[in-house]
Chain A
Amino acid sequence: MNLANSNAAMDKEKYWNPILETLPGEELEKLQLKKFRRIFRWAYEHSGFYHKLYANAGIEPDDIKTMEDIGKVPKLEKTMMREVQAKTPYPYGDILCVPLEKVTEYHQTSGTTGQPVFQADCWQDWELSSEQWAYLLCAQGYRARDRVFLPFGYNVFIAFWSGHYAAEKLGCEVVPGGALNTEARILKMQELRCNAFMATPTYVLGMADTAVRKLGINPRDLHIEKITVAGEPGGSIPSTRRRMEEAWGANVFDHAGATEVGAWGYECQYKSGLHVNDAMFLVQIEDIETGEVITEPGRKGKMVVTSLDRIAQPCIRFDSKDIIEWSSEECECGRTFRLLNGGIYGRTDDITKVKGVLLAPGAIEEVVRSITGLGDEYEVVINKSRDISDIDDIILKVELLPGLEQVDSIKIKLADQLRLKTNLAYNLEFHNYGTLPRYDIKARRFKDLRHKE
């Protein structure tokens, strides 16, 4: 093979679909508009819920001619999906665009923010979901020679189901680690010399901890080269990523998606931020206060996202509440898919005012995991003081690793860093290692009890 052919072959391996992934930005935008008009018309004509939503707003398919017109389309909130699904016909209400006999897959959201939303997919949507994952796994270097372990519960939560089928699509050998406990999963990974796996950041750290403490295995001695994380912001929180990469001696790649939306964003091997799959999603960032569409880099806002190809239960202008910002960088990978700075910073739901200061839980995680000597787990509890002052009280519980000598300096460093990064003072509680709750999927470490009593 000559050099030109060899370069061409490498290029083909680098992209899942170079046609879409290197499409100039202007053409991607045209494609997004074309596809938005198509999915809008489809939903308007086939879903009772969407038809009513748009008819009440006085907007019809022919009204959308430009990208600016898309801003006139009402946003979809998770609460609206819950409401419609509480009505007949059970269990989806009238949101579906296909008859029930076309539905082949059921999943649901994790219910972190309330009653889970049910997600119906037809066979084409299920194919689409693994197709979207194929883009991200290819960008993260998954190839046919990989043996990929899937240590998750294979149940009603979407989790890494599509990661499983996408890895198959790429030709990887997929090992399903469903009904095994953590120890058995680690031993199976070791036995089969798996070189990649997918999990939430919480579970990636938890598995490393179990390997060391319960099995006496250093995770770095396994053969893991790459780990894809999803479900929590940790993959894009530098100190959490560092801990995962150091524990496993592997590359950790972040991925962002949601049950209702699909796999909309991913890091490539250059790790310069999250790429948005602009060919399959329309991601817009809106100012949290004014709703103005933000196009310039470096300004945070909330994500409004449309899944451009999902047909059974479409997701159009979904107010995801995720806080993101555009990057000004171009990625060296050559993809024209736009980049986000850092990943998902948090959710507008989670950002809360404490003692008059805006607090994002991710900032606390960044501090805790940047301090050597503290364990990976932590818990934040916000409550009103019991005394007459009635002011907000933040308790941060952390774990000290066993055998530490410099405990006082760690305590001082933690308090200082928290004050510096969050402008708040905390009541710090130091617990013995292994005493705070552990989680297998999504962790619930942030508890705001102020309005619950």
Chain B
Amino acid sequence: MSSQLTSLSEIQDLVEEFSRVLLEVDRAVREGAAPDPDHINACFRIVHTVKGISSMVEVSSLVQLSHALEGYLDELRLGRRPLERGTLDVLFEAVDVYGGILGHAANPNVPEPGVDGFLATMGGDLVTSEPQVPAQSPLGWLDEGVLSVLTEYEEHRLRENISAGRTIFAVHASFDLMEVDVGVERLKGILKDQGEVLTYLPSADAIREDMIDLDILVGSDQSIDAMRAALASESVSIDRLHADGQVVTGDGEARAASAPPPASALPSPSVPLQRRDEDSPRGPRTREPDTRPHGAAPAVDAPEVVSRSIRSVVQTVRVELSRLDALMNLVGELRVLQGDVARGLDGRDGGLTAIQQRELRVQTRQMARKIDALRDRILDVRMVPVGQMFDALARVVRKISREHGKDVRLTVSGEQTELDKLIVEELSDPLMHMIRNAIDHGIETVEERSALGKPLTGRVGLHARQRGNSVEITVEDDGRGMRWSDIRTKAVARGLVPREAAEMMTPKEALRLIFTPGFSTLDQVSELSGRGVGMDVVKTNIMRLSGLIDVESTPGAGTTFSLTLPVTLAIIQALVIKVGSQTFCVPLGSVMESLMLDRADVETVEGFEVANLRSETLPLVHLDRFFDLSPGPAREELYVIVVGLAQHRVGLIVDDLLEQKDVVIKPLGPGLDVVPGLAGATEIGAGQTVLLLDLATILAEAVQGFASGDLRARPEARP
């Protein structure tokens, strides 16, 4: 992968982190709490890093955006701009703009979003100023040891304060070890009113073991007398370090006894200053979380950013999925070869002694195990936690609920559940649709909720958990729910289902009608959810992933959608079946059960063959007729595999069930990949190519066939 792509995906990671922190801040703001200043600082630091990397990838809009955003965040963290929901809207929008720019940078076919418009919303003054190095006020007067532990932000603020003509004070305070956090908070409160707290430095000359001494650098417009007055209640000493544009030497007004020269008022570099983070327990950590070793902190910050990003690249390797696919194909072939060898061994006994044969068999079995282990390791590499996707969805929840003026809280669980990267990518759109539906159609307005006696804040839940070889994701809301009888009525009114058929439906079947194309519960077209395309799109996407979707709803209490998805599509567990004289594979994940049916148990309803399966009516499809294959021998007992995809359940009649196998599926290539009903092919040993059935299409066709009458039972098999 090119370094450009590496940098872009690194930026993407940072932007995701940015969005995660923003969500934290957002939660705090919504709850009316003061947001943790660390979070804003973290945002600033992330954006700053993004800016650094952006300049390397030479995407000017990224640099522009990051620069403007950095200024915006700087104002935020200095309290110059109020931190409120409107401000957060801008920041969340920035996340989207980043996404757009990255999308365009990675694939020029994606239209580039206009950055200018967004920059204008952030404030024109920030846009016009080009990235520039602030005028360097000399800081040589500050002890070198102090200078080297200042973060770039602190240093920047220090310079800014000096440039603004403020006086720099050193406030020397001493706290009891047990009360340091309370004390620092109190002092901070006072100092904040006087000016800007620049940094907290643990002092070297602590008098007692159980005391912590701090030197606090403050930039202020106040005179030293005013400062003293303000801090009268605190046992602190105050020195002026820098005033009126020049270094203050020997401040006569300072307490004579403890008035050291300015430089030595601060610790020298040899003291354990560099480990101050460990030394000061939790208290004065208001600085931005800076993970770099302080001792290594260089005076210039830009190269630092660069070298840091290079280090992180070394630790993780980004791999294109296509490379993993290639590996997986090779492993699949290796496994086929192993099978051939093992079979060849069974077939011949000449030339080998019994012992030799046994040894070879043991070895081929071990080889099979190793190949399977190799395959599993490759699969592992493709797995990513769903948490990343959930974060993006949390942003969607926030945005939509704001647009709708609804109060919605998202609860999330199972973020660590892992899924194939490809599935995660394909899943985010359907999930977004479902969440939109939940907020748009599901959750009531605050007034309605209060009238109903429900909690005013609506709840949308997003949960993931692993269940064996599949992952279950549920999207639930505590909104108004759906009434199955209403859905049935609507579906009939829209001509989506014949009245007679609708009347025979169970509540569950009726509820599943919402997945029918063209169905919408809200008559009014909503800006968000469109016109009844939502759940249809969701269904199609889930089917494409060999997934299962189901819905449950209680009127007045809410709706739950559950998706069951395979952990990966790179390798699938397949059921090898025989239809007529031909062998096929069926994804095992879509096979709900297989059963043996007596021909006498097959009934016909309006000419369609059905079987009764635990009081639900199961439509039957003869696969040989479906594919125009020569039928196998007639039997009194039928093998039926019950397959389910999305809301459909159908029984496929096959001639035999051969085996269960892990297979690597390859696309059929141009010309054959459009054959309806086939999803790919795989080699299952001895050079035999076996086609994989595309159940999504087969079911869709079957459902259509039932509707059109094409699949009516025929008295005799087709010639």
A binds B: no
